[in-house]
Structure 1
Amino acid sequence: MTCTEKWSSCNGFSLLVLALLAIALNLTPLVADYVEDGRPFYSPISCYEWWLPGLIGGGLLVLPAVSMTLAARKKGSCNNRTGMLISSLLCIISIIGSAYCTVISIYAISKGPLICEKGSNTLDHCDYTLGNLSNLQSLTFDLTWFLNETCGPTPPADGNVTTYRQGMLPDFELDYEINEQSQKIIHITVFVGLAVVGLLEAIVALSQMVAGLFGCLCGTSKLKRNKRKSSGNFNYAYS
């Protein structure tokens, strides 16, 4: 196994682990919402979880490079110059996906959970246009939503706190403080994790681009083995 094959093997397994982690992180608030309410699309913790940064950006867009990179390592059917080059080119898609995952996560961290941003947690308050993602310079990190004791609407004077969730079922009483705090923790854990995963995926993808280019230029051990076998058969015919 050449150094580029070992390099590609390490990159492939690293990208696979990071992609699975990104998918798991993105699913966390979606599953938490479903477990709590018993229905999807009901009361999201954040609008940005439905941009699917981990499922699409850090997950699906990274998997093609993962499959090709692992196939191009030792004993793989794509263990040749072309396979190394294709693995390098597919990493461009991975970098785009990881950049999407990171940018969405950064915006989610700056905005806070939906209940802090809009005073509600219904999908009606979500804006799914790309306009608010066009200018990173306008982004300010104000984490007061996490540091303050409460960020939602002021509870009524009688102390009865009702949920802001709207759906087919009637409203029900909910311990607002506990629910809000859990949303804050899930929100910052998920999107900080996704931002870090996205950055690591971009670094590993860049590393594989370099490894793939070197493998394409220098060749792989499989080609060397085939040459040795051909040379041996040729000598045996004349012996």
Structure 2
Amino acid sequence: MCSGGCSRCIGVTLYPLVLISIICNIVLFFPGWDVKYAKHGEITQEVRYMGGLVGGGLMVLIPAIYLNLTSQQGSGNRCEMFLSILFAAMGVAGGLYSFIVAVLGLDNGPLCKYGGIWTTPFKNSNSTYLADYSWWENCTEPKNVVQFNIGLFFTLLVTSCLQVLLCAIQMINGLFGCLFGACNKAKQEGFQLKVTQQSCFTAVSFHSDNMCTGKCSRCIAVALYPLALISIICNIVLFFPGGDVKYAKDGHITEEVKYMGGLVGGGLMVLLPALYIHLTAKQGCCGNRCGMFLSIAFAAVGVVGALYSLIVAVLGLQNGPLCKVLLIWLTPFKDRDQSYLTDSTWWGTCTEPKDIVQFNIGLFATLLATSCLQVVVCAIQMINGLFGCLCGTCMEKGPL
């Protein structure tokens, strides 16, 4: 029973599931294998939620990559296994999002031409169309869109179930690895206690690779890189609502996007600490007590940056997007008593840019989740840096 080997197995298994999710979501944008429907915006609503691309894709791919890293020979210490629990939780969230979107896609049915009008004829039918093939002929265009929709959303449903299951298993596996070690080496060194006399106190030295502040720093830095990249990408994309540059040129950008929480806070202010923290894991570089002490300050900068990104994301979700209502550009959901997030009927208030509410919610929610992880990871490094400062980085196997 080896938690490190189990992490590798789970990571490798998640890769094809991620690929299937991404492919299914991309294909759903082209019903009847024709690009004209995507150009005209005649796409099923649930496809635009991008459950397979964002949920079962990106939010599961990053944990899969990290899980593979924790299983490499010479890696996979307790700190890494603890962080793998957080990443696996992110994968569970992504898998659940993909699952919910797939269920909605199957329940509501496809957008199609019905009696000469583009509509969703099977919505509110309690999914009875799934068992009654005679209803499928009501959709005259795109060709075979019902079968197309059912096949791909069902594939997404099954894939997301497997992703949730695997990531949940990794959360349990990570807990065992955190408590008992990853056992990546064939012969593990015993947990040895050696009392050594030092200047002011008696230090307890640990001859185990499973508890090492230097290696924990490397693990934290590697975890921060993709999170910083996600934050930067989300903030940049938010400048182009509807995938069109004209709104940025005309200044029709949501106010919270201009605060650049993802670029500055979750991006630059987290990326710089990640680079320095990585250096503390290198012997002969910053991997000493002084380096670990400075890593506490850098990690604190990361916490501040992530908190800034978190606050901006919360404001972006709370106030809603800037959009055109009739002929006026305004923020229609700001200062309302009821939240627009739970009532999708309000979303039609925004006529331009197209699907701006979903666009805004998806990216700011991703920023929110990413910044939460960044705060947790940087806070862990502050604690890890304190131990490294007091006890050393244990880069060598001798006494600290």
For Structure 1 versus Structure 2, the TM-score category normalised by the shorter chain is 0.5 to 0.7
**Count of paired positions:** 188
Identical amino acids, percent of aligned pairs: 27
Q: CA RMSD in A?
A: 3.2
Structure 1 SS opposite 2:282: coil
The answer to whether structure 1 residue 106 and structure 2 residue 314 are counterparts is yes
The answer to whether structure 1 residue 212 and structure 2 residue 369 are counterparts is no
Shift in alpha-carbon separation, 1:31–1:102, aligned structure 2, 3 A: same
Once the 2 structures are TM-superposed, how far is the Cα of residue 147 of structure 1 from its aligned partner?
3.9
CA shift digits 1:131-188 (9 cap, x unpaired): x9xxxxx997712574425224xxxxxxxxxxxxxxxxxxxxxxx4xx4442112100
The answer to whether structure 1 residue 143 and structure 2 residue 340 are counterparts is yes
The 8 Å contact of residues 46 and 121 in structure 1, kept in 2 or not, is answered as no
CA shift digits 1:66-98 (9 cap, x unpaired): 111000003361111111111111111111111
Relative contact order (alpha carbons < 8 A, sep ≥ 6): 1 or 2 greater? 1
Partner residue in 2 for 1:49: 257
Partner residue in 2 for 1:61: 269
| CA distance in structure 2 between the partners assigned to 1:150 and 1:5 by the alignment | 52
Query: Which AA in structure 1 matches 2:365?
Result: V
Structure 1 stretches of 5 or more lacking a match? Answer: 126-131, 133-137, 153-175, 229-239
| CA distance in structure 2 between the partners assigned to 1:121 and 1:59 by the alignment | 29
Out of 259, 279, 286, which is 1:78 matched to? Answer: 286
| CA distance in structure 1 between the partners assigned to 2:237 and 2:316 by the alignment | 15
| CA distance in structure 2 between the partners assigned to 1:147 and 1:28 by the alignment | 25
Out of 365, 370, 377, which is 1:192 matched to? Answer: 365
| CA distance in structure 2 between the partners assigned to 1:141 and 1:90 by the alignment | 40
The 8 Å contact of residues 112 and 146 in structure 1, kept in 2 or not, is answered as no
The answer to whether structure 1 residue 96 and structure 2 residue 294 are counterparts is no
The answer to whether structure 1 residue 203 and structure 2 residue 383 are counterparts is no
Partner residue in 1 for 2:235: 26
Give the structure-2-normalised TM-score.
Answer: 0.42
Shift in alpha-carbon separation, 1:217–1:60, aligned structure 2, 3 A: same
Once the 2 structures are TM-superposed, how far is the Cα of residue 47 of structure 1 from its aligned partner?
1.3
| CA distance in structure 1 between the partners assigned to 2:327 and 2:385 by the alignment | 49
Shift in alpha-carbon separation, 1:147–1:93, aligned structure 2, 3 A: farther
Query: Comparing 112-121 with 14-23, which one deviates more in the overlay?
Result: 112-121
Once the 2 structures are TM-superposed, how far is the Cα of residue 117 of structure 1 from its aligned partner?
8.7
Select the structure that is richer in strand: 2
CA shift digits 1:1-50 (9 cap, x unpaired): 662122111111111111111001101122456x5245744243411111
Out of 219, 225, 244, which is 1:10 matched to? Answer: 219
Once the 2 structures are TM-superposed, how far is the Cα of residue 111 of structure 1 from its aligned partner?
1.1
Once the 2 structures are TM-superposed, how far is the Cα of residue 119 of structure 1 from its aligned partner?
7.2
Query: Which AA in structure 2 matches 1:196?
Result: A
| CA distance in structure 1 between the partners assigned to 2:387 and 2:272 by the alignment | 20
Give the structure-1-normalised TM-score.
Answer: 0.68
| CA distance in structure 2 between the partners assigned to 1:14 and 1:22 by the alignment | 13
